Amino acid sequence: MAEVLVYVDHVDGTVRKSTLELLTLARRIGEPVAVALGNGAADTATVLAEHGAVKVLTHDAPEYAEYLVVPKVDALQAAVEAVSPAAVLVPSSDEGKEIAARLALRIGSGLITDAVDLEAGDEGPVATQSVFAAAYSTKSRVCKGVPVITVKPNSAAVEATTAAGTVEALPVAFSEKATGTKVTGRTPRESTERPELTEAAIVVSGGRGVGSADDFALIETLADSLGAAVGASRAAVDAGWYPHTNQIGQTGKTVSPQLYIAAGISGAIQHRAGMQTSRTIVAINKDAEAPIFELADYGVVGDLFDVVPALTEQIKVRKG
């Protein structure tokens, strides 16, 4: 069976969920071979094996932390040359997309970004993308070279399965360009204990209807009762009620969680562009004519200041 390279997104050996999703998708088109780089790379092997990686290629060097993406591209290129895979899968983060694009250029391959599904095809893997603010789905395949495909988080449910996960050292010779862009400083983001927005299985978002920065506490309390991430519309962010990093939409982040709860958000096309592929959408809005109800699976017409606390209370009661 053909091997499929999966680029491992991890922090000091802790593998991100988006990588486990990639392993699930990779199994549809071949045997997953994971590529883990940097500090803690070898520590990823156990969890990768538990999710179907037949092999884990590892390499650690200070360059991965000290310079931007090129060392990782060098390593992935070395893995492609060593394995001759049927495809290379990379998580669709900002960094992942840059790595994938540079790799595709290096190896003379076609690239598909932001896939939301993947299936085996007679002439290579077929990727589904959700385009034009999720108004259309397209299917495409790479016609030249080894397909390089980035896949959005939450595109597949993680499925555990046991595989060998044999660890092998990947020989990597860094190119001249590897040290071209140095990281000069790092400031850890203030931790909220909440999941990362683009990876969260549940997102609770607030819009202009929330009315103030202080009242975003209501949205946060609901989110915390569900173990969810907090999002915001651009109107809420522009008003200074929530950080720009939490903006969802065309000019913000794209999320695709299992559950998206929108409170006090009208559902403008630019907001939809960032959340329309969510599995289940719940809208809370006091205006029954709000466009968000056109795409919501469940809608509550009501004042969020009544509905959100009542919902939070019920969730807490049911969770015990």
- Cα gap 127→125, rounded to integer Å: 6
Closer residue to ligand FAD (CB): 140 or 270: 270
Give min distance, CB of 246 to ligand FAD, in A: 11
Token output for 301: 């017409």
Give min distance, CB of 311 to ligand FAD, in A: 12
Closer residue to ligand FAD (CB): 19 or 247: 247
Give min distance, CB of 83 to ligand FAD, in A: 39
DSSP 195: P
Q: Which residue is nearest to ligand FAD (CB)?
A: 249
The torsion of the CA quartet 132, 135, 141, 145, rounded to 10 degrees, works out to: 20
DSSP 288: T
272 binds ligand FAD (CB under 6 A): no
How far CA 160 is from CA of 24, 27, 50, 53, 240, in Å, comes to 8, 11, 6, 10, 42
Of the candidate residues 233, 276, 277, 312, the single one contacting ligand FAD (CB under 6 A) = 233
Residue with tokens 């990768």: 48
**Residues 234-253 within binding reach of ligand FAD (CB under 6 A):** 234-236, 247-252
Stretch of 55-63, 90-98, 164-172, 302-310 contacting ligand FAD, by CB under 6 A: 302-310
Of the candidate residues 55, 285, 296, 299, the single one contacting ligand FAD (CB under 6 A) = 285
Stretch of 134-142, 153-161, 282-290, 312-320 contacting ligand FAD, by CB under 6 A: 282-290
- Cα gap 231→211, rounded to integer Å: 15
**Residues 153-182 within binding reach of ligand FAD (CB under 6 A):** none
- Length of the chain in terms of residues written: 320
The torsion of the CA quartet 155, 159, 164, 170, rounded to 10 degrees, works out to: 20
Question: Which has the closest alpha carbon to 125: 109, 146, 106, 104?
Answer: 146
Where along the sequence are the contacts to ligand FAD (CB under 6 A)? 207-209, 233-236, 247-252, 264-266, 268, 270-271, 274, 284-287, 290, 303-305
